[in-house]
């Protein structure tokens, strides 16, 4: 059996570190430079537990920059939620085979708008970076999130109180359909 000396071990470790560093420093295509955007990237993607959105706001005024960034992120978050809930509503009403399907879908859409508007007041800021540009303007990078569990609880509360939908509404089926749709978004 061959014995590994300390110098051999050092050479092997150095080679491994060199190979990892070379691989992580891939060159960008000629004429291009990679840009790192604060408050963005995979840790800020929507998952099966949270809806997430990020955006940028720019202004000569620091506060206005933040307001723009938050407003843009909220709009993006609302659009994402509405798209997901529309898919949940379609799948839920199809699986329930309700006689008044069109009326149920219409009522779900109305409740969706109301709930999204209400829940957006409860979003949590998970990243915020303020930058001052070379021309003196302010840029605010922001990322926000909303718990999917809190959202589905709000739907349950509102749908349970709606007399027209209460007859056909099955919370467990709705939650199951919602969770399947969220699983398509990611598993973090």
| Span 109-133, pLDDT tens digits | 666 666 776 667 678 999 999 999 9
Instruction: Name the H helices within the chain.
Output: 6-24, 62-96, 101-119, 148-161, 163-166, 171-185
Phi, psi of 5, deg, nearest 5:
-85, 165
Is the pLDDT higher at 1 or at 64? 64
pLDDT: is 174 or 101 the higher one?
174
Residue-range domain boundaries for the chain: 39-185
């Amino acid at each position: 059996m061959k014995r590994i000396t300390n110098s051999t071990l050092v050479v092997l470790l150095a080679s491994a570190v060199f190979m990892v560093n070379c691989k992580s420093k891939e060159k960008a295509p000629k004429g291009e430079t990679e840009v790192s955007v604060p408050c963005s990237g995979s840790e800020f993607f929507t998952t099966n537990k949270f809806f997430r959105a990020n955006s940028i706001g720019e202004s000569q005024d620091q506060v206005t920059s933040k307001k723009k960034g938050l407003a843009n992120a909220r709009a993006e978050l609302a659009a994402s939620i509405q798209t997901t809930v529309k898919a949940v509503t379609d799948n839920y009403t199809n699986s329930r085979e309700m006689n008044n399907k069109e009326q149920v879908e219409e009522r779900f859409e109305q409740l969706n708008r109301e709930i999204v508007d209400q829940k957006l007041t409860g979003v949590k800021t998970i990243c915020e970076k303020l930058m001052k540009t070379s021309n003196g303007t302010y840029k605010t990078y922001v990322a926000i999130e909303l718990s999917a569990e809190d959202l589905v609880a709000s739907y349950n509360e509102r749908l349970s109180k709606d007399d027209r939908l209460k007859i056909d509404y099955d919370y467990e089926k709705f939650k199951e359909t919602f969770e399947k749709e969220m699983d398509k978004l990611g598993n973090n």
